[in-house]
Amino acid sequence: MRRAQLLGVLFGFGLVVVAGCGTESQTNIPLGHAPGTGGGSVSSTSSGSGGWESSSGTSCPDCDKKSTGAGTDQPFDPQNKESANVGLDDDGALVLDQSMSGIPGIIWISNTGQNTVSKVDTTTFQELGRYRVGTSDPSRTSVNTEGDVYVGCRGGQSLMKISSAGKDCPDTNNDGKITTSSGPNDILPFGQDDCVLWHVPVPNPPLVRGVAAQDVPADPNDPEITGMKNYVWTGGTNHKTVYKYDGKDGKLLIQTASPACTYGLALDGKGMLWQSGNVCGAEIGRIDTNQCHDQASCDSFPVCESSCNEGGCTANCDAAVKERIKLPQSVYGITVDFKQRVWVGGSGIKRYDPAAPPAQRYKAINDVPFVHGIAADGKGHVWGAAVGSGVVRVDGDTMQKVIVPVPNAKGMAVDKDGKIWGVSWGNEAHVIVPGYPALNDFNMIPNAVTGLVSCYTYSDMTGQQLSLATNKPGYYREIFDRCQDGEPKWMELFWDVVLEDKTKVRFRVRTAPTVDALKDAKWIAVAEIPSDKSPADLVKAFADAGITQQHLLEVEVRLEGWMDADKYTTPHVKSFGISYLCGPAVH
């Protein structure tokens, strides 16, 4: 069972909310430390034996109870239960874990010389499909949280979207059936593959060089909405302009002046869009997409210029919406790690930490070969493709490094299982299986994928950079069905939760007679922690909603983390459960 790769190291102590049924006793619960690293503890209450009171003040001494989680006979199982963005800490509690995002295990590789894009299973290394692009010279692939890919084509100055759904793709050509590629020898003419969702030209051709998927909550103020809005940003090196498109239909939403040329793009967890300038000089750009959200707002903000070197950085642009940061060395590939630090290739490997004091923001490793693609994993290591000189593996904190002997790697990526992909400037992809924490601990799978064609591919080919660097909520669902004879009466929901800093946990429930019917049942919000105390009265919740209780009860717990400066804080859900009564059997 996978343990969570907790996304921070500097955690504080905050509010603790724990639920109990009945009498309370004191226990010490460790807070906010990555598994195995130690950490502080605070005192909190936990459940004891005996009866307990519901939120309406009624008691249920005759109720049966069923719990799931740490210390119960049914531990949490994120890999086999419906869930997203959650894993387990060392004690078996649910925590946020962006490596468990649910993004399909697929890497999208541009066959630049063939004008196609390959869809490859990152577990079996099997190529599942190959898709013709609408123009020419695909070189950038960026994956959203649904596993779909946006492809930037340099030669054709265009952007396109391909679905990961395979045989479940929509019937885009309206021929009454789903027609799509099944592998490298099954490439359909452009316009005939149903998984190619849209293709658009980029105006005032920028020579497309950077693509970054951006997914945001459909309504961040409504916790009942779990859907996401899909967007994609692109830009190029012909001029300093970025473009924002609607990911659903390819509609151009924003075309605005940018701080730098775009050779690469990456988004962080605070909505900052980072650019690698390259052709326009040794510089990176930053755009605050929270304030640059439509054409008028984006155009209203000027570009502020700052600079960095080993001696420190100027901080005159920290509050700016658009910032150009001049660096002392050339730049190339770009990524953002889970600590929100920006990493740039080129001459040396450069780390820029926007949350650090100005004197400590910029660090560089100069005694390495020129680095092309760059990627950050979920354990704090960074990987830079140095083509014929191997792959540079860097400890993101200490900046120590080793060279991994990967032949001809041009593009870098991290897959959902933590494997590292080096896509060659040629016809194959190699895989590194890293061990931690030693930099020299790794195994190689050379030529894991062959039969590719003249690859020249960058960006977030798997979606893991987007997942690891962003602060998305997570959820876990459990279905309860406890009465062997008769209908249950769902009485109360109780929980055992630890919160830190400004994290939150929300519970909601729905009921239906069958599992299939649950999918369409209405969710009812029953608790938000820290505001509400355990237990929650389910009888009252269903009555207030005008919903009749049914045989099955599904409970969803939603975890919301907090990101501040260089720390990421997650709530810990130790367990939750329900109390119920079994009514008479209906014959």
The pLDDT mean for the chain works out to 86
Beta sheet of 552-560, edge-to-edge order:
83-84, 474-480, 552-560, 504-512, 524-529
Question: Is residue 57 pLDDT above 70, yes or no?
Answer: no
pLDDT tens readout for residues 277-286:
999 999 999 9
Asked if CATH classification 1.10.3470 holds for the domain at 16-100+475-582, the reply, yes or no, is no
For 413, the token pair is 């990526």
What are the structural domain ranges in the chain?
A: 16-100+475-582, 209-469
Band of pLDDT at residue 45, cut at 50, 70 and 90? very low
Question: Is residue 2 pLDDT above 50, yes or no?
Answer: no
Q: What is the pTM (predicted TM-score) of this model? A: 0.81
Place of tokens 């890293």: 434
Q: d(Cα 536, Cα 116) in Å, to the nearest integer?
A: 54
The predicted pLDDT at position 162 comes to: 98
Question: Is residue 304 pLDDT above 90, yes or no?
Answer: yes
The predicted pLDDT at position 466 comes to: 87
**Where is pLDDT greater, at 44 or 219?**
219
Question: Is residue 218 pLDDT above 70, yes or no?
Answer: yes
Q: Which of 96, 53, 88 is nearest to 69 (CA)?
A: 88
pLDDT tens readout for residues 456-474:
988 899 999 888 887 778 8
Band of pLDDT at residue 483, cut at 50, 70 and 90? confident
Q: CA-based Rg of the chain, rounded to a whole angstrom? A: 25
pLDDT tens readout for residues 263-280:
999 999 889 999 999 999
Q: d(Cα 470, Cα 280) in Å, to the nearest integer?
A: 28
Band of pLDDT at residue 562, cut at 50, 70 and 90? confident
In the three-class reduction of DSSP (H, G, I as helix; E, B as strand; rest coil), residue 397 is classed as coil
The predicted pLDDT at position 221 comes to: 58
Question: Is residue 260 pLDDT above 70, yes or no?
Answer: yes
The predicted pLDDT at position 420 comes to: 98
The predicted pLDDT at position 24 comes to: 31
The predicted pLDDT at position 175 comes to: 86
The predicted pLDDT at position 584 comes to: 65
Q: Which of 547, 559, 490, 541 is nearest to 520 (CA)?
A: 547
For 405-467, give the DSSP string: --TTEEEEEE-TTS-EEEEESSS-EEEEEE-SS-TT-EEEEEEEE----S---BS-SSSHHHH
The predicted pLDDT at position 566 comes to: 56
**Where is pLDDT greater, at 120 or 53?**
120
Band of pLDDT at residue 567, cut at 50, 70 and 90? low
Strand partners, 300: none
- 108: which residues sit within 8 A by CB, 6+ positions away? 117, 118, 119, 120, 141, 143, 149, 151, 162, 461, 462
Asked if CATH classification 2.130.10.10 holds for the domain at 209-469, the reply, yes or no, is yes
